[in-house]
């Protein structure tokens, strides 16, 4: 091995190694400080399982092979699905047979069923890796997340308020510390949210246990365990890094998309529909 090769390997090892605990930012009480604007990178929002590139999510039979459906045909490459290595630990979601069939039906009817298209709240964990930034506000007594997409929010209780009173899109989240890892347990979901654009779904029985760990100042290792005995044969995990926005001008934009989908959802009620 040449001296330059050895130096390169040592540099890579130094980058990959986790930062010493004392080097991560901390609050006055000594807890890891997650305050900031964060975002996931990659193509996970298309499909959390490993997948190859394909012409579109919505397809129709073609003269030789399937082609993009008419409603997305004009988008060309902008409507195509990029490949992704996925974030499911082990690669595959352990669906029960009936739930797998529903997932496949969701894929075939993506344009009609995906809640993202209608600007419904994304749910957990989907909100964490959509292609939009989110901001964490942390103090000694509060932990709050604000998402650019649809103005979604998560108030993570640090004192358990008891069982959720109603099922909701974002559920109820309760957090606690395990050393330097912030652990959040969420339940009380409805069954309307998806994990991605590929039709991966869950039931109202889902419980999500998330783990937030600062690997250094600008990276969070995000892990979530999904439990739902009505949909999956066993608990399963996702894992992906979250990246801090370091631009001094970084801030959340506004993407309150309800008004953007009014024509899609209610345009047919016009006296003279435009489509």
d(CA 110, CA 13): 42
Query: Which residues touch 169 (CB under 8 Å, ≥6 apart)?
Result: 120, 121, 122, 123, 189, 190, 192, 193
Instruction: Tell the burial category of 261 from Cβ atoms under 10 Å away from its Cβ (0-12, 13-18, 19+).
Output: middle
CB 241 within 8 A of CB 215: yes
| Distance, CA of 23 to CA of 215 (rounded, Å) | 10
- Per-residue pLDDT in tens (0 to 9) along the chain, 275 residues: 556 555 555 544 554 555 565 589 999 999 999 999 999 999 999 999 999 999 999 889 999 999 999 989 999 999 999 999 999 999 999 999 999 999 999 999 999 999 999 999 999 999 999 999 999 999 999 999 999 999 999 999 999 999 999 999 999 999 999 999 999 999 999 999 999 999 999 999 999 999 999 999 999 999 999 999 999 999 999 999 999 999 999 999 999 999 999 999 999 898 888 87
Categorise residue 92: left if φ over 0, alpha if ψ from -120 to 50, beta otherwise. Answer: beta
pTM of the model: 0.89
Q: Where do the structural domains in the chain lie, given as residue ranges? A: 25-50+85-269
Enter the tokens of residue 139. 């103090």
| Gyration radius from the chain CA atoms | 21
The Cα–Cα gap between 252 and 80 comes to 27
Rounded-to-integer distance, Cα 173 and Cα 233, Å: 24
Three-class SS state of 3: helix
Listing DSSP states for 71-102 in one string gives HHHTTGGGGSBPPB--SBTTSS--B-HHHHHH
What superfamily in CATH does domain 25-50+85-269 come from?
A: Calycin beta-barrel core domain (2.40.128.20)
Secondary structure class of 154 (helix, strand, coil): strand
What pLDDT, on the 0 to 100 scale, is given for residue 15?
A: 46
Phi-psi region of 172 (alpha: psi -120 to 50; beta: other; left: phi over 0): beta
Are 109 and 82 a contacting pair, CB within 8 Å? Answer: no
């Amino acid at each position: 091995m040449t001296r330059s090769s050895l130096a390169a390997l040592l540099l890579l090892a130094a980058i990959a190694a986790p930062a010493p605990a004392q080097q991560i930012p901390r609050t006055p009480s000594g807890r890891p400080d997650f305050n900031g604007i964060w975002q996931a990178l990659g193509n996970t929002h298309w499909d959390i399982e490993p997948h190859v590139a394909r012409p579109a999510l919505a397809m129709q039979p073609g003269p030789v092979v399937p082609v993009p459906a008419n409603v997305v045909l004009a988008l060309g490459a902008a409507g195509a699905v990029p490949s992704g290595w996925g974030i499911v630990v082990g690669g595959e979601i352990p669906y029960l047979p009936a739930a797998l069939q529903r997932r496949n039906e969701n894929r075939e009817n993506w344009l009609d069923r995906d809640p993202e298209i209608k600007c419904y709240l994304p749910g957990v964990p989907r909100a964490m890796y959509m292609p939009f930034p989110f901001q964490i506000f942390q103090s000694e007594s509060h932990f709050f997340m604000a998402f650019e997409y649809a103005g979604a929010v998560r108030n993570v209780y640090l004192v358990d308020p008891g069982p959720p009173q109603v099922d909701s899109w974002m559920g109820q989240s309760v957090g606690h510390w395990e050393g330097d890892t912030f652990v959040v347990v969420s339940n009380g979901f409805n069954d309307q949210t998806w994990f991605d654009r590929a039709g991966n779904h869950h039931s109202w029985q889902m419980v999500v246990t998330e783990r937030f760990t600062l690997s250094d100042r600008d990276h969070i290792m995000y892990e979530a365990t999904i439990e739902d005995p009505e949909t999956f044969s066993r608990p399963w995990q996702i894992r992906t890094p979250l990246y801090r926005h370091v631009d001094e001008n970084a801030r959340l934009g506004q993407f309150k998309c309800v008004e953007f989908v009014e024509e899609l959802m209610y345009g047919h009620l016009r006296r003279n529909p435009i489509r």
